[in-house]
Each structure stands twice: as C-alpha cells, then as structure tokens.
Amino acid sequence: MADQSSAVVSDAELREALEVVFRANSALYKERGFQRRLGFGKRPALIVIDLAKAWTLPGHAFSCADMDTIIPANQKLLEAFRARGFPVVFTTTAYDITDGPNSDMGLWGQKIPLETLSADSEWVAIDDRIAPQPGELVIVKKKASAFHGTHLASYLTANRVDTVIVTGVTACACVRHTIEDAIADGFRPIAVREGIGDRIAGAVEWNLFDIDAKFGDVEPLERVLQYLQSNEIG
C-alpha cells in the first residue's frame, strides 16, 4: 500500500494549482461579462464577521487558520474606521438553547456542532485583540449571513451606508453569505483579502475568486486603507 503521506498536498502546492485554474476561469468569465467592478461608494461601514474566540483561538471545533495575518489586518481597518467615525459592526454566532427539542439552532445544528457556541460561553466573545469599543454594534446572529434575521440592513440604511467592507471568517460560509445578502440589499460589498480566513486549505482562495467574479469586489488591504483616507467619502 502506498504511503498516504505522499498524497498530501501542501498549501503552497494547492495555491499554485488554484492559480492555474483561476487564470483559465478568469478568461472565461471576462469573455462572458463577469468580473465587473462595483467600486467604492461614498459612505462605508466595516462588518467584522465572527472573529470571536471560537474562531480566532486554537482548541475549538470552529478554530480557523492564519490569525497572525487576519487579526493585524482587522486592527488596521478598525483604526482607520475609528479615525473617520464610520460605522463598525461585529458579529458573533451564539445560541441560547443548545439542547432539548426547542433549540434555537434550527436544522443547521444537525449539520455542524453549533451546540459548542452557547451564548453564555466565553468562546462567543469577540477576540480581545479587536474588542469592540463603545458605540460599535455587536450583532449576535443565528445563521450564516449577518443579514439573515437581524436588523443589520436597517441599521446600515439609517446610517446612510452604501458600501460594506467585509472581513472575518469563514470565507466559504458566513463571509460569503453576508456578501451575497449585502449586494442583494443594495450595498456595495468589498472583501478585504488579508482580513478573511477559513479553516480549510484553499477555501479562502476559491471563495474570494468566486465572490470577485459574481458578488463583490475583492481588494487588498492597502487599497481599502487608501480609500478610507480619501476626502471624497464621509
């Protein structure tokens, strides 16, 4: 029997393979009119998706990788948003009833271990390194999207927001579904490449590629920071 370790693909090899696929798919998409740019609007809000301790620290079922890149990127964005006084929104996912027949986890809890996200657990608190400040909204959601079943859309509209800068985890689920709902509700979604993560190798690269093709603009951190310093927004 062949050594199973020989079948393991490194992250670098996976990314290289995905780049080959992406180049081919980009050509196809562009020929068919995809990958258009939404651009930045006039008033942004930052939406930090699920950077709570269950996702940012090791030892939990939901723990994600690359926090040594994701946390500093979010710190820079928070500093820029706070300096300009633009809205900042954090989300976490937590449940009040994690056992018995009347759980608020719904069917999703039959698919993934949502019972580990009890509302009274320290795991669902936002990571101390990017802790919310007074005046910043924290939304406790029950589903993947930050918009589903929450007042996020009305909050953004009331604050005249037209652009949502999205970071957090995971690229394949909560980040992606938030971006899809954002554009559906009329907000310009901008995904910050260095500020988004996942727990599965390749998930970030694939989902950001697909989001950029269909649902929002994926931009590097430096480009977003330049936008936030512009005198044309406010």
Contact 171, 207 (CB under 8 A): yes
- What Rg value do the Cα atoms of the chain yield, rounded? 18
The whole-angstrom separation of Cα 119 and Cα 112 is 16
Instruction: Give the catalytic positions in this structure.
Output: 174
Q: Which residues contact 74 (CB under 8 A, 6 or more apart)?
A: 48, 51, 130, 167, 168, 195
Determine the Cα–Cα distance for residues 70 and 53; give it in Å rounded to an integer.
13
Amino acid identity of residue 212, one-letter, is D
